[in-house]
Structure 1
């Protein structure tokens, strides 16, 4: 079961295996919003957690492959907290020794491949000084010992809590943690999202192009979006200026704008807009 963590109305996936499964098996993309541990000051490439749209999270929950969880407001301190700290420090010490051993073996193998070149260089150096060259084995043994500071040790950074003290959230009911249940706007957006997803499309947020969703014919890593989906109530009026602006925007970015509406039976109707004057 995929664990979706709810925080103030936002859905996050912290487990890397779950994030990969969501994309590969269910065509749910999400957005990586976490900073990389080794490059925290850049925002070009991000990491876990994976943030899901409310519609993405609900689709997974309705399919029965995911559950909504939230952290308990107060968690009791474990009785064995001191033992856990000691075990962690012991594990860190064992990891340092193992990395020191591996670094030494790697350096020894490297020196073995460069031994002949080092000997030739030292022989030329002694020859210029008129001294007798040292044996190869002696020159290699005199190499300085490996210095491996603890600051250079690789440390595993967990992205998920080990404790399972969590409370399940019912996505069907509106609450402080999940306020979308029963909202008319959310129901309309979700029905549009679900209909497009069932047709085999990949769907992401369309906020960067002024829409609700971007619709892709395949994985966004390989394809550009073909449509900008804009969800509008079925009987809501649209001004001429709004129609012109979204139509021109779609044409400028080489995408077709879809006006998506849902009738009383839940059927989705699509109206495509293209600015023919700029074709």
Structure 2
């Protein structure tokens, strides 16, 4: 049995802060949520987002019911960082910057050593007044006397290495890479809060959850449908690879759907090439029933 994942509970909402957990939920359990974290280098754009992953309430309930996850909370999530946390964070940033600078110099040193023969040849050609551009090196043939003169010139490798390393500009903090954590790095012991999860608690929430669970157990891939005015979008495969086929709206079986609302939903589905589906619970059982609608053009004869 696979290890139970820990989800971060905050303000009655569950989040995934670990990249490996995000991948496992998506790949193994068809749980997609919504990435809401900004990218460090591009904080004001919202096309590409990162961790944390915000889970739908239905997704969280299903995962708890299947014993795949447990909810945990930490005191640091409920208060602003204090001076001690800011100090730890700044020291951590400084440590990462120093490590990057050392790594950059080591990589540059390896590059120079691997190209040392070409660098030395270029230095000798320059001393003798021979062209050093790549085009001239390919086109010009070195005669015997010139080659002998080049062999006589002695260039110390260690000194040349130091000279080349001195040309490497100092790494500015604005140019340093920003580390994107694959999990929250400063959490200590977390309090178990699975018992605090009360969803679903209203009749409408019960309908939504039962519809979501029924679609999920039938093998569909389900995400939030609010961008098309529904409760869920249903895909035949991973949403990164497929377009959704259905817009599902959850309703009580006693609820009357106004004609204009039915027309509006059906036309929206038609315009985005999806089928509008209404889902509810059967009158004498808890089975989910579906009714689909499609808009068709009619022409007067």
Q: What is the TM-score of this pair, normalised by structure 1?
A: 0.80
Corresponding residue of 2:36: 33
Q: Secondary structure at the match of 2:256?
A: coil
Task: Give CA deviations for 1:110-145 in whole Å, capped at 9, x if unaligned.
Answer: 12343344334433433339xx87534457333243
Corresponding residue of 2:128: 127
CA distance, structure 2, for counterparts of residue 248 and residue 45 of structure 1:
30
CA contact (8 A) 2:58 2:212 kept: yes
Measured at CA, do residues 117 and 30 of structure 1 come closer, stay the same or move farther in structure 2, by a change above 3 Å? same
Deviation at 1:191, TM superposition (A): 0.6
CA contact (8 A) 2:221 2:234 kept: yes
* 2:226 equivalent to 1:203: no
CA distance, structure 2, for counterparts of residue 73 and residue 124 of structure 1:
63
1:143 alignment partner, one of 159, 164, 168 = 164
Gaps of 5+ in 1: 76-80, 174-179
1:22 alignment partner, one of 5, 21, 25 = 25
CA distance, structure 1, for counterparts of residue 33 and residue 41 of structure 2:
23
RMSD, aligned CA: 3.2
Corresponding residue of 1:57: 60
Count of residues in Structure 1 that have an aligned counterpart in Structure 2: 263
Residue pairs, 1:76-155, within 5 angstroms: 93=95, 99-128=100-129, 134-138=153-157, 140-141=160-161, 142-145=163-166, 146=168, 148-149=170-171, 151=173
Deviation at 1:35, TM superposition (A): 1.1
CA distance, structure 2, for counterparts of residue 241 and residue 202 of structure 1:
29
Corresponding residue of 2:139: none
Measured at CA, do residues 92 and 184 of structure 1 come closer, stay the same or move farther in structure 2, by a change above 3 Å? same
Corresponding residue of 1:267: 287
Q: Max radius of gyration: which structure?
A: 2
CA distance, structure 2, for counterparts of residue 205 and residue 90 of structure 1:
37
Q: What is the TM-score of this pair, normalised by structure 2?
A: 0.75
Residue pairs, 1:170-249, within 5 angstroms: 170=195, 173=198, 180-249=199-268
Deviation at 1:259, TM superposition (A): 0.8
CA contact (8 A) 1:115 1:136 kept: no
Deviation at 1:183, TM superposition (A): 0.8
Corresponding residue of 2:188: 163
Corresponding residue of 2:50: 47
